Amino acid sequence: MSESADSERERPVPARRSHTKSRKGCQECKKRKVKVTLYDSRNPCDEKPPSCFNCSRRGVVCSLQRTSTVSPGPRQLKSTTLDLLASHWQSAPFISETWGRGLELMHHYTSITAKTLALRPSMQHTWHHVVPQIAYRSPFLMHGIIAAAALHKAHLLPISSREYVRLAFYHETAGLEGFRAGLQTLEYQDWKPYFCFSSIVVLCMSWQPSRILIELPLAHADDGESVPGVLDLLVFIRGIRTVLQPYELQIVSSTLAPLVEASWSHLADAGIPPDLANSTIPHDSFEAVARLQDFYRKKLVGNMREGFLSATDELLKSFHHMASAGTQPELGMVMTIPYAIHDDVLAEILALKPHGMVFVAYLAGLFRVLEAHFWFLEGLPRRLFEVIDINLAKFPLHREMVRWPREKMFDIY
């Protein structure tokens, strides 16, 4: 007994684990605490003023901003967008790559995936031939292509989806590193791989089954959680505008023009409503948009009214493009809406305000129509409507305004 007691006293006491929590994180991150992702990794506060990426991602004012006196410029806005993407993919595990997996996915892209990214032959040709040729000289774009192929295989092979989603995260992260580094020295003639990579990332962010695995829970507007992750897509598309706007005229006159033809609604006029006889959108679509415009005209005032009326003009252009496309609507016909709307409207959406949620319902309705044609939109309309339902629960007048897109677009499809 005494020997046993002596041995217990002589046993060394294990050292205490070091404290890994930072005392410099912003107040919002501390208040929200940390959510666990798929791989049990964490989304810590990066503590970078004037706004950590978590606050930028969620559209809230970061406490770090109070200590910064520098006004954000165009390059800072661009950086915030890229931080959002880094946040989206940062839970990606490191994967020891082999040539075999890379070749497998590149073969899958050229043989199958490329033709699923569009319906029109000219666009399919661009995705199939032109984009890979650009990627031969751009490693970060090649990573983006392989990431898209990996997500497509995850969609086609549910039993192996976890493996392919992990591969997609790896390649997306690797691509983002090159994309971010290249933006610092982007020359006027080198825009093509950046446009292609941005377009591919939009597709990757749209596929909700992969996002659900790493997503934060849906948030209420008044519980301290500001922006559900499904709305990150809209933030990123707006961020693309900062990068690509100087090159718009070059894009429409280049070999990549088919990717934006009849899609960039912010550069076109709606014109006379087209015939809806062979269209995939409801036959009373233009009347519904007119009611939405009248709703905003009566309920809003000042700059906010002008912003939402301008946004409904963009919505109307997208309905025109979708109607004119007949049975071949393309993704860009809808993705241009968040690209073009006013900052005030986007802010209302990210703040989960009722007027913003009504607008998102019409956007979600268009995504629902496209979901029938594009695998990477799977789950996106449903997730958007979940956010809408949560945040309009106490606003019966606004709930009535979303009845049309729900009954005529979401429920039918």
Q: pLDDT tens, 245-302?
A: 888 889 988 999 999 876 654 444 555 667 777 888 999 999 999 999 999 999 999 9
More confident of the two residues 252 and 392: 392
Q: What is the pLDDT of residue 316?
A: 92
For 227-232, the CB contacts below 8 A with 24+ separation are 227/57, 227/58, 227/59, 227/60, 227/350, 227/352, 228/352, 228/383, 228/387, 229/88, 230/380, 230/383, 230/384, 230/387, 231/349, 231/350, 231/387, 232/57, 232/84, 232/88, 232/205
The answer, yes or no, to whether residue 374 has pLDDT greater than 90, is yes
Query: What pLDDT is attached to residue 244?
Result: 82
Q: What is the mean pLDDT of the chain?
A: 78
So what's the pLDDT on residue 362?
97
221-245 confidence digits (pLDDT tens): 444 444 567 888 898 888 888 888 8
- Considering only residues 409 and 224, tell me which one the structure prediction assigns the higher pLDDT: 409
Q: Does the pTM of the predicted model rise above 0.85?
A: no
For the cut 90, the answer to whether the pLDDT of residue 405 exceeds it is yes
State residue 391's pLDDT score: 95
pLDDT for res 8: 47
Q: Is residue 6 scored above 70 in pLDDT? A: no
The mean-pLDDT minimum among 112-126, 254-268, 398-412 falls in 254-268
How would residue 60 be classed by pLDDT, with cut points 50, 70 and 90? very low
Torsion of CA 189, 192, 197, 202, to 10 degrees: 110
Q: What is the pLDDT of residue 49?
A: 61
Say if CB 95 and CB 167 are below 8 A apart.
yes
Instruction: Estimate the crossing angle of helix 192-206 against helix 232-244, to 10 degrees.
Output: 170
Candidate from 198-212, 297-311, 323-337 with smallest mean pLDDT: 198-212
Give 134's pLDDT tier (boundaries 50, 70, 90): very high
